[in-house]
Structure 1
Amino acid sequence: MLLRLFHVCVASLFWYTIWYDLSYVNIPFPNKAYEEYPLRGRTTFLTFWCLVLQTVYFTVSVLNDYVGTNVDHPKHTSILRSIKDKLFILAFPVALYVTSAFWGIYAVDKDLIFPDKIANAIPSWVNHTMHTFILLFIVLELVITYRRYPSRAVGYSIVILFNLTYTFWFHCIYYQTGVWVYPIFNVLNWPARVGFVIASTTFALGFYLVGEKMNKLVWTKVDKRKVKSK
C-alpha cells in the first residue's frame, strides 16, 4: 500500500511539474528560435529530458503496482515489470548526472548553468523538482523495489546511446540557432567542448556503475535467499 502511494505521489508531482512548467513558466531563451522547438523549447534541455524519463518511469511503476507485480523473483515477469526494470537502469544514472552536473557547476559559477534571468523565471519548487527531487526519489526507489541489472555491456550501451542522442541534438540546435543551450559552452573552445562531452559520458557511465553497485549492495541478501531456496 505504501509503495503504491509513493509511486502515485511521485508520478503526480512530476506530471504536475511538467504541466506547470509548460503552462506558466516563461524561460528567457538566448534565441527566439528556441521557442519553435517542441514543448515550448523545453526539449532543448537535458533537465527536461530527465524529468520526462523520471515521469515515465514512475508512471509505469504505478501501472505495474496495480496490474503487474513487485515480487522479487516472479515466475513470470510481466511486460510492465520488464519495462519498469529496463527504464530504471537509465533513469538512475541520468538523474544522478543531472543533479551532480547542475549543482556542481552551480557551486563553481552559477551564471554558467543558471543565470539570474532564468532563475527568476523558474519557481524554486520547480527547480528543485527538476534538479534535486529526481535524485532523491530514484535513490529511494532503488532501496525499496527490487530489479535485476542486465549485463554491463547492455547497460553501458543504453547510457551511451542516450548521451550521444542528446549530444547530437544540442549540437544541431547550436548549428541552427548559433547559440549554445548551456552558457558554459560559450567559454570553452572546441577541444574543450569535445573533452567536456567525453568527460560527461564517462561520468554517466560511472553513475550507471554506482547504481549497479548500490543495487547489488541493497539486494544481495534477497538473491542469496532465493538461491538457497532452490
Structure 2
Amino acid sequence: MLLRIFHVSAASLFWYTAWYDQNFINVPFPNKEYAQYALKGRVTFLTFWCLVLQTIYFTLSVLNDYIGTNADQSKHASLLRTIKDTLFVLAFPVALYVTSAFWGIYAVDKDLIFPDWLAKLVPSWVNHTMHTFILLFIALELVITYRRYPSRAVGYSIVILFNLMYTIWFHCIYYQTGVWVYPIYSVLNWPARVGLQLASTSTALGFYVLGEKLNDFVWTKVHNKMVKSN
C-alpha cells in the first residue's frame, strides 16, 4: 500500500508540475523562434526532457502496482515490468545529471542558471520539483523496489542514445535559430564544444554505473536469495 501511495504521489506531482508550467509560467526566450517549439518551447531544455522521463517512469510504476507485479523475480517478467525496469536505468542517471548540473552551477554562480528575474517567474516548488525532487524520488525508488539491470553494453547504449538524441536536437535548434540553448556554447569554439559534449556523455555514463552499483549494493541479499532458490 505504501509503495502505491509513493508512486501515485510522485506521478501526480510530476504531472501537476508539467500542467502548471504549461498554464501559468511564461519565460521569455533569447530568440522568439524558441517559443514556436512544442510545449511553450520547453522541449528545448534537458530539464523538461528529464521531467517527462520521470513522469513516464512513475506513471508506469503506478500501472505496474495495479496490473503488474513488484515481485523480486528474475525470469518471466511481464512486458510492463520489463519496460519499467529498463526505463529506470535511464531515469536515474538523467535525474542525477540534471540535479548535479543545476545545483553545481547554482553554487558557483546563481545568475548563470537561475537569476533573480527567472526566480520571480518560476515558483520555488516548481524549481525544486524539476531539479531536486526528480533525484530524491528516483533514489527512493532504487531503494524500495527491486529491478534487474541489463548488461553494461545495453545500459551504455541506452544512455548514449538518449544523450545523442538530445545533442542532435539542441544543435538543430541552434541551426534553426542561431542561438544556443545553453549560453556556454556561444563562447566556445567547435573543438571545445565537442570536448564538452564528450565530457557530458562520460559523466552520464559514470552516473549510470553509479546507479548500477548502488542497485547491486542495495539488492545483493535479494539477488543471492534468488540465485539459491533457482
Contact 2:46 2:98 in 1 (8 A): yes
Equivalent position of 2:69 in the other structure: 69
Contact 1:113 1:182 in 2 (8 A): no
Structure 1 residue 53, shift from structure 2 partner = 0.2
Equivalent position of 1:91 in the other structure: 91
Structure 1 residue 213, shift from structure 2 partner = 0.1
Equivalent position of 2:185 in the other structure: 185
- Give structure 1 stretches of 5+ with no counterpart: none
Q: Which amino acid aligns with 1:45?
A: F
Secondary structure of the residue aligned to 2:8 is helix
Identify the range of structure 1 (171-180 vs 101-110) with the bigger mean alpha-carbon deviation. Answer: 101-110
TM-score normalised by L of structure 1: 0.97
Structure 1 residue 191, shift from structure 2 partner = 2.1
Distance in 1, Cα, partners of 2:165 & 2:131: 21
Distance in 2, Cα, partners of 1:151 & 1:75: 15
Secondary structure of the residue aligned to 1:40 is helix
Q: Which amino acid aligns with 2:219?
A: W
Alignment of 1:46-195 (within 5 A): 46-73=46-73, 76-195=76-195
Structure 1 residue 228, shift from structure 2 partner = 1.7
Secondary structure of the residue aligned to 1:90 is helix
Contact 2:50 2:95 in 1 (8 A): yes
Equivalent position of 1:25 in the other structure: 25
Contact 1:106 1:112 in 2 (8 A): yes
- Does 1:205 pair with 2:205? yes
CA distance 1:102–1:204, change in 2 (3 Å): same
Detail structure 1 runs of 4+ shifted over 3 Å in the superposition. none
Distance in 2, Cα, partners of 1:122 & 1:223: 43
Contact 2:74 2:148 in 1 (8 A): no
TM-score normalised by L of structure 2: 0.97
CA distance 1:160–1:75, change in 2 (3 Å): closer
Equivalent position of 1:228 in the other structure: 228
Structure 1 residue 115, shift from structure 2 partner = 3.0
Superimposed CA distance per residue, residues 98-126 of structure 1 (whole angstroms, 9 cap, x where no aligned partner): 00111111222223222333232111110
Distance in 1, Cα, partners of 2:174 & 2:75: 49
Distance in 1, Cα, partners of 2:165 & 2:172: 11
